[in-house]
Amino acid sequence: MFNEKISSLSGLIAATFTPMDDSGRLALGIVPTMVNQLIDEGVAGLYVCGGTGEGVSLTNAERKQTAEAFVKAANGRVPVFVQVGQNSLFAAQELAKHAAEIGADGISAITPTYFKPTSTTALIDSLKIITDGAPNLPFIYYHFPAKSGLPIDLSDFVEEAVGKLPSLYAVKFTDSKLHDLQAVLTATDGRIKVFFGTDEMLIGGLAAGASGGIGSTYNFAAPLYIKLIEAWKSGNLAEAQRLQALSVQMVRTFVPFGGIEGQKGMMGMVGLECGPARLPLNKLSAESIKQLQSNLQEIGFFDWARP
């Protein structure tokens, strides 16, 4: 069902940030520069309006504008997946339909997080409403139990979903339970791909069978992870472990400044000014950004994470 570009997709998929101005309004003018730099640095795809992109904090109109900007900027050079999950399933369906209309390569969705599906059947029925908006686009199910809070067995879900969701292509697996990742691959005999969503554990995800990763830190540290993947593929486990340790050190450095907030600050440091995060997230002060930059310099980030 899926074309070769999608079927063989592997490597790093950047979960993109949504550029905003100081007032929290969209500032999409930098998107072409962002996309060009990400492609130049080796990312294999883009994942738009996810958690990193503050999708749940955007209106549907803003999400459509953002998706259009990234699809246009990519211009077919790498696949673009649009995260369309919403508390309203029919609003999500509308976003899925729009993604198909603008030429996106696929869609993804996390399930509603206020009223949650409480059974595998309800989860699949909910996702069916969303995917009906774009039945011909590959669908990535966004598994993020820390945010969704779903009491669902993932392997049971994929076994049942394979027959009921024809467009199911992959799982974005944002969790530390690698045995669940392996269970997905086993339950579907590898027919469903897995992209790992915990950047600081990428080597573990690859070892468990993931095709690559979808993550936020690939926006500013793709060269580091590309070297990690190359080391892993060549069997140089010691080097892969060394590079992963640097990734952990980087994450531990920015997290005290806020996950999204700190990373948006880092985007400006690599020449891709994305502005602050939108409320209810915090806005980093100039002093905090300066301190973060100093902390990153101290660990050598700009030497080992950049080209």
Q: What residues contact 134, with CB distance under 8 A and at least 6 apart?
A: 96, 97, 99, 100, 107, 167
Query: Could you give the CA distance from residue 248 to residue 252 in angstroms, rounded to a whole number?
Result: 6
The sign of the torsion formed by the CA atoms of 306, 44, 169, 190 equals negative
Other Cβ atoms closer than 10 A to 132: 14
Tell me which of 47, 64, 141, 142 is the catalytic residue: 142
Active site residue 172: yes
Q: What residues contact 257, with CB distance under 8 A and at least 6 apart?
A: 265, 284, 288, 291, 292
Tell me which of 47, 141, 169, 172 is the catalytic residue: 172
Q: Do residues 162 and 192 make contact, with C-beta atoms less than 8 angstroms apart? A: yes
DSSP SS3 for 1: coil
Active site residue 72: no
Q: In which region does residue 42 sit, left (phi positive, over 0), alpha (psi from -120 to 50) or beta (all else)?
A: left
Query: Could you give the CA distance from residue 135 to residue 214 in angstroms, rounded to a whole number?
Result: 22
Query: Could you give the CA distance from residue 282 to residue 278 in angstroms, rounded to a whole number?
Result: 7
Query: Could you give the CA distance from residue 262 to residue 289 in angstroms, rounded to a whole number?
Result: 8
**Catalytic amino acids?**
142, 172
